[in-house]
Structure 1
Amino acid sequence: MPCEQCPLRRMDVLRDFSPDELDFIRSFKSGELNIEAGSSILLQGTNSAYLYTVLVGWAFRYKSLPDGRRQILNFAMPSDFLGLQGTVADEMQHSVEALTDMTLCIFPREKLWSLYSRFPALAYDVTWLAAREEQILDESLLSIGRRTAIERMAYLFLHLFVRAEEVSLTRGNTIQFPFTQQHIADTLGMSLVHANKTLKKLTATRTMRWKGRVFEILDRDGLAKIANFEFPGPHKRPFI
């Protein structure tokens, strides 16, 4: 798909490129990759020659222990940038798996220096994306370390809903999330049994419901109060 026809460019939340920036991104992009749900995009401990922007679909980023236990670090959805860590660390320190069928824009890692050297505004955008990822990890650590079980689950649902809402994946107060309770448990550092019990307690507050993977917010302010969640104000954010 030509960059000037990219559906991400029509989203109000994402900033516009200048003509020169768009020309560069067009030359930076080497193609698109279709990925089936359940496929690995990046693997912990390996090298990758490419960076990716999510065009369509959902993925999750995670780390694994030798015995197979995993910690989900974050979820990726359209406009999110994958693989930047490998540029600094030479190899990936985490894995990324597709939750749904996906389409990814492919960027050769070797061309990243051209972006930094020729387009300071795009270089700032990459730095902004890295800082945003750090901010999300900060909140995740706060949840696991200090929020109660019901608070951390409420926060996760709201955080993912707001991100999805920004990129037009929601319909009113509803969305079909592509993940399971096991994914939630692995994100929040809970057992599956604990996650199930916590979900029932959160549902009993009548601020939300999640059935058949369809999530609905019934009381946005009430759910935010449980989560100690602050809604972001209107803003334009970068993407590559």
Structure 2
Amino acid sequence: MSDSCFVVRLNRYLDLTPTEKKAVASLEREPRDYPSGSMLWQEGDDLSELLIVHQGWALSESRLPTGKRQILRFHFSGDMIGASGIAFRDAPSSIVAATDMVVCRFPRRALGETFTEHPRLAALFFSISQMESIDLYDRLRALGRSEGKARLANLFLSIAARMRAVSGQHNPVIRIPLTQSDLGDAVGLTQVHVNRLIRQMTEEKLITRNRSTVTLVDEPKLIELARFVDRFSALDSSWFPSPRG
């Protein structure tokens, strides 16, 4: 169980019992390797399985009527992929490996069994899903009302907040193994515009970028620029049912 990145993430928010840890870790059986560029599933595919990311990065994307790509979310170690679309039989977006990955697939019905046996885990999963939804709403609001630099700042801060929720460490250096095209498709900007903004933010001593790492040099100014709210730093579990077992 110590190797379960999903257990580690959940345990940041709630002191899981040994039985709950075992139930969560059981979802991470049979890890599979996927090379960068692999299509884990396509929009419209039967959503009979969910995924837990053990290593690597994936992106959730949708194709616009113009043929352009819109990246909805990035996924990395400790994330469950597919929970946001669990209300539907068909996948609402495509999932593509942005790097080489190790992913654990499990049938959707296994989640229902886990929730039946461990209602406190159901409350925790639901709460984390809502945190991710509100974070996405924040980013969509930034896309509609913010200039490019604020959009990019919001994206960097959101990724940092999610990674810190898993690691438990407030590190200003975050690994983002994404291309500028990926970043642009996530914030509605061209690759050229993203490149120009990163240079500008570097000159203003807001960030530095070295290949696949971004350092948040002046995080308070980035937060002010993006009007960013960290949706992942705390979770209210006062209403959760008591654990079983």
C-alpha root-mean-square deviation of aligned residues, in Å?
A: 2.7
| TM-superposition CA deviations, 1:191-228 (whole Å, max 9, x none) | 22222222222222211111323211222212222222
Match of 2:4 in 1: 6
Could you tell me which residue of structure 1 aligns to residue 242 of structure 2?
A: none
Aligned AA (1:164): M
Aligned to 1:98: 97
SS in 2 for 1:88: coil
Task: Check conservation: 1:42, 1:83, Cα contact below 8 A.
Answer: no
Q: 1:36 to 1:166 in 2, by over 3 A?
A: same
User: What amino acid is aligned across from residue 199 of structure 1 in structure 2?
Assistant: I
Quote the Cα distance in structure 1 between the aligned partners of 2:212 and 2:3: 31
Per the alignment, do residues 103 and 236 of structure 1 end up closer, same or farther by CA in structure 2, a change over 3 Å counting?
Answer: farther
Is the aligned partner of 1:203 residue 2:202?
A: yes
Which stretch shows the higher mean deviation, 168-177 or 37-46? 168-177
* Corresponding position of 2:146: 147
CA contact under 8 A between 1:155 and 1:227: conserved in structure 2? yes
Compute the displacement of 1:30 (Å).
4.3
Q: 1:7 to 1:130 in 2, by over 3 A?
A: closer
Q: Percent identity?
A: 27
For residues 75-99 of structure 1, give each alpha carbon's deviation from its aligned partner in whole angstroms, at most 9, with x where no partner exists.
1112211112443110001011111
Quote the residue 1:111 is aligned against.
Answer: 110
Give the C-alpha shift of residue 136 in structure 1: 1.9
Q: Identify unmatched segments of 5+ residues in structure 1.
A: none
SS of residue paired to 1:125: helix
- Number of the residue aligned with 2:222: 223
Judged with a 3 Å threshold, the aligned counterparts in structure 2 of structure 1 residues 177 and 25 are, in CA distance, closer, same or farther, namely closer
Question: 8 Å contact 2:32–2:102 — kept in the other structure?
Answer: yes
Contact persistence 1:58–1:98 (CA under 8 A): yes
8 Å contact from structure 1 (residues 53, 105) kept in 2: yes
Distance 1:4 1:90 in 2: 33
TM-score by length of 2: 0.84
| Secondary structure, aligned partner of 2:45 | coil
What is the CA deviation profile of residues 125-168 of structure 1, one whole-angstrom value per residue up to 9, with x for unaligned ones? 22123212211220121111011111111111122123223333
In structure 2, the partner of 1:44 is: 43
Q: Aligned residues, how many? A: 236
Separation in structure 1 between the aligned mates of residue 205 and residue 193 of structure 2, nearest angstrom? 19
Distance change >3 Å, CA 24–CA 147, structure 1 → 2: same
Question: Aligned partner of 2:12: which letter?
Answer: V
